[in-house]
Chains A and B, each alone.
Chain A
């Protein structure tokens, strides 16, 4: 059974008014437990809207969403419980910090879940370790931390809830290259250790290519593709036609292939590209 299932989702804003807008249309997909799924799409493709449907912040106009086989809107008054199982980190999450200490802020989520003091403490400390925050930072005010540290504290706040499904919307927005790499590694580690399901919304093809098992491609509120990372990026031309760019290394492979060189165009990292080219070059010598 899939952990998350979307069935013919349609979301219309301002129905009946002159501002009527269909944000999502006829969207169906299934996410398996333990997967790491990347979600890509142009601005306005509906990807941020989609993830807000998955944790019950938005309600679909038509269609259903199933979590572990149950319709999340079956009991509308209990929708909060869905958010304990489907955790979400928004863009620029550091802007949501508010508590007196970092510890208390990270504890906010677990507290809302009604957990025992001991359990909350355990979770807060674990989350802090995972995101690389130190003991002394836990006792500080969140507003004393640097930008990068604040973001880590905000993410810790969601990790502490230990959700079955973790959704991150552009978690690396605004970070420098090293910051981006570090954060993505942490997310990948977290996924590996916890064996939970992760959905990552991003604009960066390079980021998504590196750590996703499957990729959901969206355009104009519809699903264009949902396939393994390799397969998705082998459709370079199609991605470009909807305004997305493949990683530069993939583009290089595509261009070589067009010139008659027999390379694997589903290469996504420099490492793999390097190996491919080495093969070709050494082959040519042997000829």
Chain B
């Protein structure tokens, strides 16, 4: 897989004094590959949001370097190039929408990039269709639901044709329906349009859909691997104030009692299947004993 973002030994402190700094990021080494869907999880205050804002040069590392498609984020002259490649969607849907009409807000980024008028029109239409909000293009954003607003924010980024979208807890302020809408959209963008996705979240149900899960605490990366691998480490996650899906926890506890069950169970279907198999095996064994 091709490297897209390379984070090398990054330390970051909000404190600008020389002495006694406390670091929000303490030695992060991480690579994001092109086309990947990476979920970054951690409790509030672990540094994941700070990391997200480094990926498009909103913050610059105190020490260490970050390269976006080969460009160092410290390079002031190439700031717009970086922000064109890496879009950032934030938590509050309302506070990202600039214009009073949906299609005008989606056009905002393109207008800033100096793209010709007709081209902007095309991009805006395509972006709105990609997030399934095309029919709302002349509506006013304030009548839309949270999930719809967040999709508009995403469309505004897509119109700039980024290679990667970073989303910092995009569903934290949404209701379950809104969360589903946004997650469906993000997954579709990754699978169908090949856009690299970095999703910052504390919802485990969202992280299970990623290609890779990165777990952070105290400004450090503690775990990185496929969802099945990461979520099987139930105790470690608990220690770092995170939950696992109920299905995962159930299997974990049963395994702890000695039952033969596979690891890495993430959803209901897998869980039920594993349990049925286990029950069948035990039933067969007992038949064997009787017979």
Q: Do chains A and B touch in the complex (CB under 8 A)?
A: yes
Tell me the A residues contacting B by CB distance below 8 Å.
42-43, 147-148, 173-179, 203, 206, 243, 245, 247-249, 251-252, 255-256, 259, 261, 270, 273-274, 277-278, 280-281, 284-287
22 contacts across the A-B interface (CB closer than 8 A): A42-B177, A179-B43, A179-B44, A243-B177, A247-B246, A248-B245, A249-B247, A251-B268, A252-B247, A252-B250, A252-B271, A261-B275, A261-B279, A270-B246, A270-B249, A277-B254, A277-B275, A281-B278, A284-B279, A284-B282, A285-B282, A286-B286
A209 vs B249: C-alpha distance in the bound complex, in angstroms? 17
The answer on a CB contact under 8 Å between B243 and A177 is: yes
The answer on a CB contact under 8 Å between B44 and A176 is: yes
Interface size range on B against A: 35 or more
The answer on a CB contact under 8 Å between A274 and B272 is: no
Which of B78-86, B157-165, B168-176 interfaces with chain A? B168-176
Interface string of B240-282 (1 = CB under 8 A from A): 0111011101100110010100000000110110011011001
The answer on a CB contact under 8 Å between B268 and A177 is: no
Q: Label chain B's interface by main secondary structure.
A: helix
A279 vs B269: C-alpha distance in the bound complex, in angstroms? 21
Q: A177-B202, A178-B43, A281-B278 in contact; A274/B250 too (CB < 8 A)?
A: yes
The answer on a CB contact under 8 Å between B254 and A278 is: yes
Residues of chain B within 8 A (CB-CB) of A249 are 246-247, 250
User: Which residues between 152 and 195 of chain B lie within 8 Å of chain A, taking CB atoms?
Assistant: 172-173, 175-178
Residues of chain A within 8 A (CB-CB) of B278 are 281
Q: Which of B145, B249, B268 contacts A255 (CB 8 A)?
A: B268
Q: Which residue of A176, A247, A251, A261 has the most chain B CB atoms within 10 A of its CB atom?
A: A176
Nearest 6 interchain pairs by C-beta: A177-B243, A248-B246, A178-B241, A176-B202, A284-B282, A249-B246
The answer on a CB contact under 8 Å between A273 and B250 is: yes
Residues of chain B within 8 A (CB-CB) of A270 are 246, 249-250, 253
Residue of A nearest to B257 (CB): A278
A148 vs B44: C-alpha distance in the bound complex, in angstroms? 9
Interface string of B196-236 (1 = CB under 8 A from A): 00000010100000000000000000000000000000000
Task: Give chain B nearest CB distance to A278 CB in angstroms.
Answer: 7
B70 interface hit (Cβ, 8 Å): no
Instruction: A252-B272, A281-B278, A281-B282 given; name 4 further pairs at CB < 8 Å.
Output: A249-B246, A252-B268, A252-B271, A285-B285
Residues of chain A within 8 A (CB-CB) of B276 are 256, 259, 261
A209 vs B233: C-alpha distance in the bound complex, in angstroms? 26
Q: A252-B268, A256-B275, A270-B253 in contact; A43/B175 too (CB < 8 A)?
A: yes
B64 interface hit (Cβ, 8 Å): no
The answer on a CB contact under 8 Å between B279 and A280 is: yes
Task: Give chain B nearest CB distance to A69 CB in angstroms.
Answer: 35
Residues of chain B within 8 A (CB-CB) of A256 are 272, 275-276
The answer on a CB contact under 8 Å between A177 and B282 is: no
Residues of chain B within 8 A (CB-CB) of A175 are 44
Residues of chain B within 8 A (CB-CB) of A261 are 275-276, 279
B283 interface hit (Cβ, 8 Å): yes
Q: Which of A173, A177, A281 contacts B241 (CB 8 A)?
A: A177
Q: Which of B43, B246, B269, B283 contacts A287 (CB 8 A)?
A: B283
Q: Which residue of B259, B272, B285 has the most chain A CB atoms within 10 A of its CB atom?
A: B272
